[in-house]
Amino acid sequence: MTQRASYARVAPDVYKTLLGVHQYLERSGLEIDLLNLVFLRASQINGCAYCIDMHWKDLRAAGVAEQKLYMLDAWREWTGYSERERAALEWTEAVTRLTHQDVPDDVYARAHAQFSDEELAKLTLGVTSINAWNRFNIAFRTPAGSYQPAHKK
């Protein structure tokens, strides 16, 4: 597919605004690997190749086990995720999909058991922000595959 436009180039303030939210999340106190896992899962659901490539590479560069990444689509069936990760992934799926325009009470209860109110608000900002990034990259057909992580472990 051919890129339609570079939204970062044609609307730099839009890009800077999204980037500002991402930078806030990096300083929010939530674990960076957890955020990237959430970003990767939402991007898988939305089919955003650019973001899948980015967050997969960021997680690998951070030293996250390959198997944890391979099993992400089937996280419910694999025991290698912590309870906190499982709660974050379930919350991510519920907020991303909003089935019947609702996040079920049982999903909230499991997430709230692992995250404080403040952390859950920050996690929700992370989920909604990656959904925004996904939609921009899909809508403008941002080419995937060339992303290089800024850090390596």
Q: Is residue 148 part of a domain?
A: no
Supply the pLDDT for residue 82: 98
Interacting residues of 15 by C-beta distance below 8 A, sequence separation 6+? 7, 8
Supply the pLDDT for residue 152: 59
Interacting residues of 78 by C-beta distance below 8 A, sequence separation 6+? 71
pTM: 0.94
Whether pLDDT at 8 is above 70: yes
Both structure tokens of 101: 């325009």
Phi-psi region of 145 (alpha: psi -120 to 50; beta: other; left: phi over 0): left
Counted domains in the chain: 1
Whether pLDDT at 78 is above 70: yes
Closest CA to 56 of 132, 42, 18: 42
Mean pLDDT of 2-26: 96
Q: Which domain holds residue 100?
A: 31-139
Q: Is residue 145 part of a domain?
A: no
Dihedral over Cα of 62, 64, 66, 72: its sign: negative
Residue pLDDT, tens place only, 135-145: 999 999 999 99
Q: Is residue 150 part of a domain?
A: no
Q: Is residue 6 part of a domain?
A: no
Contact criterion met (CB below 8 Å) for 104 and 94: yes
Q: Is residue 117 part of a domain?
A: yes
∠ CA 55-57-62, nearest 5°, is 95
Q: What is the CATH number of the domain that holds 108?
A: 1.20.1290.10
Q: Is residue 78 part of a domain?
A: yes
| Cβ-count burial 106-125 (b if 16+ within 10 Å, e if not) | ebeebbeebbeeebbebbbb
Q: What percent of the chain has pLDDT over 70?
A: 98
Q: Distance between CA 5 and CA 94 in Å, rounded?
A: 31
Q: Distance between CA 10 and CA 34 in Å, rounded?
A: 32
Q: Is residue 10 part of a domain?
A: no
Q: Is residue 123 part of a domain?
A: yes
Residue pLDDT, tens place only, 102-141: 999 999 999 999 999 999 999 999 999 999 999 999 999 9
Residue pLDDT, tens place only, 27-75: 999 999 999 999 999 999 999 999 999 999 999 999 999 999 999 999 9
